[in-house]
């Protein structure tokens, strides 16, 4: 009976859970806020993902900085492979289990003081502050504190992975500043001498500073020198000789007592060489100097030369061939070209295809409707009636426009951006009026004339209008006392009305006599950098004339509480604030309600942690929130695992309000970037918060 029940339980469990995919074990776990556990195997890709930041969807539990907490790094039992690319700058102790087979540290923590190796580990040896493999042929890393002025690598070592080049004084304290760096930068380690043994085949990618660098293995020096030559040969056309270029010793010299240039093998040199090439589709070509178009050479054999010494590279369809011997590359007098069957290149259009150029006068043909992207400078340009589109740009002394309209096919730009002239003769009245307005608003000195213009259409009585200008916000509310509150960096959008005038003909000038920008029928009122009031003057278009008006105003910028704006345009700090239910970021700012906000390091009560948004405190004490924010939120769950979310807080996407999960008690906001129209992204320091009850 018991067996029957047991089998029944197994069958039910299989049917219930057999289709459920097993969840991957978390990569990291935190203990007591100072101990970081590595729970799963870490590949180089994992290391890159967690160190830099991966914006794609990833099933892993994320771990990113802050890394200044962790003094102890523990690789858990059962983990056999770790590529630790995290910059654990404050780590003092590293524990290695018996199961670990592979460990790679691109940079040894400069404050590392102790390594605890499980005695049962069959793969590693810990000796005199240095980690080796079991047979001591590979040196993985050494403690910065164990380094002496003279570094003598043991004779048995064949591969050296890392040599410490930075260290901290013992007992140096760390502070929690934004990116996890300590108050004091690490000191560079300088060696009087570094000696690599004769059988060493692999050296660190970068050598630390030393007075003398002694390499007893000439084959390694020769090989590295030749590889450096080959890298340059494949990249540049220059010829050069650089012995020992791979090993650079800034303050001293490189010494290789066994280095002997007589080991260069030149026995293969002869007057002619028999070349055999295999292309990418398997064709074998012997003694050729060309290959078919679209093919490439995959492998090469040269009679009398060992295959491992033959090298070739391709540049612009031309193959060159080399022989590698000891520390030198010899280029062979052989070249193979790729046949080209490309059609004749299509010539760029010229002005002569669309008109006639004579004595610096460009006359477009009568049947031309559109002109391509052509550019030129002329004394005179004549545009016929049928021409309506122009993609390029023309500079000239005088332009004669007989067309009814002229614009770009792809861009909404004015005629004067297409044709930059000192004098415009315009047949069409509407085109003439648009040119006159553009020239006046851009303060251009060019002259525009239209034979059909009728000055009697100017309404000069508008200049006698003394009606009070009425400013309204985007909701139609009248702005009283000429005060306005604006979002940081954005100009306030306000509408202007003067009784008896068409709003589209109204113009506003600031104290510098500059025309205020218009956006969708509204004026953009921008705050002066010094916080001064906006002194405004008015003008009105009547036919082809801009009439200045008698009315003047002073718009006073104010804070949310109605007090003067004053100085302090710049942002002082980034904060989080609470958006009550039923309100958005904008309605909260437009209201007179107080705003509940928190700075980095503060504790946010749980009841407020589900409706948070980004904001800024300015130097004058004002508060604001606008633009698009991109950031990462890193938080600890109940199991002390780090979780990461990539969030966007935007004026144009969603509401810009986000919440912290219920089980979260501590979180970090990293990678904060602010994006504004036509502006480069601005970054902010990371932020750290606690979540209370």
Better pLDDT: 96 or 626: 96
Residue 50 has pLDDT above 60, yes or no: no
β-pairing, 518-519 vs 522-525, is antiparallel
pLDDT at position 146 is 63
Better pLDDT: 580 or 49: 580
Rg of the chain taking only CA atoms, in angstroms: 37
Contact (Cβ atoms closer than 8 angstroms) between residue 357 and residue 380: no
Better pLDDT: 261 or 596: 596
Residue 47 has pLDDT above 80, yes or no: no
pLDDT at position 179 is 40
Record the pTM: 0.46
β-pairing, 518-519 vs 483-484, is unpaired
Of 133, 98, 126, 97, nearest to 112 by C-alpha is 126
Cα→Cα distances 493→477, 479, 525, Å: 12, 12, 6
Q: Cβ neighbours of residue 91 under 8 Å, at least 6 residues apart?
A: 70, 71, 72, 73, 109, 111, 112
pLDDT at position 9 is 45
pLDDT at position 387 is 92
Q: What percent of the chain has pLDDT over 70?
A: 74
Contact (Cβ atoms closer than 8 angstroms) between residue 82 and residue 104: yes
Confidence of residue 581 (pLDDT cuts 50, 70, 90): confident
Of 107, 674, 128, nearest to 117 by C-alpha is 128
On the 0-12 / 13-18 / 19+ scale of CB atoms within 10 A, 265 is middle
Residue 624 has pLDDT above 90, yes or no: no
Least confident of 50-54, 228-232, 434-438, 513-517: 50-54
Q: pLDDT tens across 291-320, in order? A: 887 788 888 888 888 888 888 888 777 888
pLDDT at position 224 is 67
β-pairing, 355-358 vs 361-364, is antiparallel
Contact (Cβ atoms closer than 8 angstroms) between residue 673 and residue 681: yes
Q: Give the domain ranges of the chain.
A: 39-185, 226-338, 351-447, 460-557, 571-691
Strand runs labelled E in 54-123: 72-75, 81-83, 93-96, 102-104, 114-117
17 phi-psi bin (left φ>0, alpha ψ -120 to 50, beta other): alpha
Tokens of 112: 């590392």
pLDDT at position 51 is 43
Segment 9-32 shows an average pLDDT of 51
Segment 112-132 shows an average pLDDT of 92
Better pLDDT: 127 or 647: 127
Residue 281 has pLDDT above 90, yes or no: no
638 phi-psi bin (left φ>0, alpha ψ -120 to 50, beta other): alpha
Of 641, 622, 515, nearest to 575 by C-alpha is 622
Q: Does domain 460-557 have CATH number 3.90.700?
A: no
DSSP 562: S
Of 490, 494, 502, nearest to 476 by C-alpha is 494
Q: What are the phi and psi torsion angles at 86 (to 5°)?
A: -65, 140
Q: pLDDT tens across 134-166, in order? A: 999 999 888 876 667 888 889 999 888 888 887
pLDDT at position 128 is 87
Mean pLDDT of the chain: 77
Better pLDDT: 492 or 411: 492
Better pLDDT: 175 or 112: 112
Residues facing residue 291 across a β-bridge: 338
Better pLDDT: 521 or 467: 467
Of 358, 450, 361, nearest to 397 by C-alpha is 361
48 sits in which H/E element: helix 44-52
Residue 396 and residue 676: Cα distance in Å, rounded?
A: 37
pLDDT at position 58 is 39
DSSP letters spanning 293-321: TT--EEEEEETTS-GGGEEEEEETTEEEE
DSSP letters spanning 171-202: T------TTS--SSPPEEPEEEEEEE-TT--B
pLDDT at position 104 is 83
pLDDT at position 133 is 93
């Amino acid at each position: 009976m018991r067996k029957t029940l047991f089998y029944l339980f197994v069958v039910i469990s299989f049917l219930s859970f057999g289709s459920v995919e097993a969840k991957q074990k978390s990569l990291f776990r935190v203990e007591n806020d100072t101990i970081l556990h590595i729970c799963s195997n870490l590949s180089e890709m994992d290391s890159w993902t967690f160190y830099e930041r991966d914006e794609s969807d990833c099933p892993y539990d994320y771990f990113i900085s802050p890394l200044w907490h962790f003094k102890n790094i523990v690789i858990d039992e059962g983990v056999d492979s770790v590529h630790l690319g995290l910059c654990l700058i404050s780590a003092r102790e590293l524990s290695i289990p018996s199961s670990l087979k592979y460990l790679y540290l691109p940079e040894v923590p400069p404050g590392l003081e102790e390594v605890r190796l499980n005695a049962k580990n069959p793969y590693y040896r810990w000796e005199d502050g240095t980690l080796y493999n079991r047979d001591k042929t590979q040196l993985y890393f050494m403690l910065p504190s164990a380094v002496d002025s003279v570094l003598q690598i043991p004779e048995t070592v064949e591969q050296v992975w890392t040599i410490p080049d930075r260290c901290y004084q013992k007992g140096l304290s760390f502070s929690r500043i934004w990116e996890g760096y300590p108050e004091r930068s690490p000191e560079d380690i300088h060696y009087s001498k570094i000696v690599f043994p004769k059988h060493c085949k692999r050296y660190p990618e970068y050598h630390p500073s030393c007075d003398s660098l002694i390499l007893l293995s000439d084959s390694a020096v020769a090989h590295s020198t030749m590889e450096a030559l080959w890298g340059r040969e494949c990249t540049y056309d220059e010829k050069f000789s650089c012995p020992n270029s791979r090993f650079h010793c800034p303050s001293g010299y490189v010494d290789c007592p066994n280095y002997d240039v007589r080991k260069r093998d030149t026995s293969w040199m002869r007057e002619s060489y028999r070349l055999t090439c295999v292309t990418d589709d398997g064709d074998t070509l012997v003694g050729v100097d060309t290959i078919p178009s679209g093919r490439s050479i995959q492998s090469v054999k040269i009679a009398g030369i060992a295959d491992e010494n033959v090298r070739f590279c391709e540049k612009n369809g031309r193959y060159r061939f080399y022989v590698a011997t000891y520390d030198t590359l010899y280029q062979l007098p052989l070249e193979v070209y790729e046949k080209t069957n490309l059609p004749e290149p299509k010539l760029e259009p010229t002005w002569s295809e669309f008109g006639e150029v004579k004595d610096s006068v460009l006359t477009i043909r009568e049947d031309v409707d559109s002109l391509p992207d052509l550019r030129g400078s002329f004394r005179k340009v004549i545009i016929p009636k049928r021409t309506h589109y122009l993609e390029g740009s023309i500079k000239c002394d005088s332009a004669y426009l007989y067309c009814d309209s002229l614009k770009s096919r792809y861009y909404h730009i004015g005629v004067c951006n297409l044709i930059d002239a000192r004098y415009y003769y315009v047949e069409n009245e509407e085109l003439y009026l648009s040119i006159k307005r553009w020239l006046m608003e851009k303060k251009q000195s060019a002259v525009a004339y239209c034979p059909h213009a009728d000055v009697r259409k100017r309404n000069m009585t508008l200049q006698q209008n003394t009606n009070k200008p009425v400013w309204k916000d985007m909701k139609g509310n009248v702005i009283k006392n000429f005060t306005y509150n604006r979002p940081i960096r954005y100009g306030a959008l306000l509408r202007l009305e003067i009784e008896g005038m068409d709003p589209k003909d109204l113009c506003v000038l600031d104290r510098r006599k500059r025309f205020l920008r218009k956006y969708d029928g509204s004026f953009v009122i921008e705050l002066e950098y010094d916080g001064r009031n906006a002194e405004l003057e008015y003008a009105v278009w009547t036919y082809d004339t801009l009439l200045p008006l008698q009315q003047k105003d002073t718009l006073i910028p104010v804070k949310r509480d109605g007090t003067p704006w004053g100085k302090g345009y710049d942002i002082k700090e980034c904060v989080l604030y609470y958006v009550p239910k039923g309100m958005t970021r904008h309605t909260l700012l437009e209201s007179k309600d107080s705003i509940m906000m928190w700075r980095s390091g503060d504790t946010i009560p749980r009841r407020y942690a589900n409706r948070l948004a980004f904001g800024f405190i300015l130097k004058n004490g004002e508060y604001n929130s606008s633009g698009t924010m991109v950031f990462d939120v890193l938080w600890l769950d109940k199991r002390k695992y780090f979780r990461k979310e990539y969030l966007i807080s935007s004026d144009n996407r969603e509401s810009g309000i986000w919440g912290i999960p219920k089980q979260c008690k501590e979180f970090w906001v990293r990678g904060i970037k602010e994006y504004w129209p036509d502006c480069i992204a601005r970054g902010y320091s990371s932020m750290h918060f606690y979540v209370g009850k």
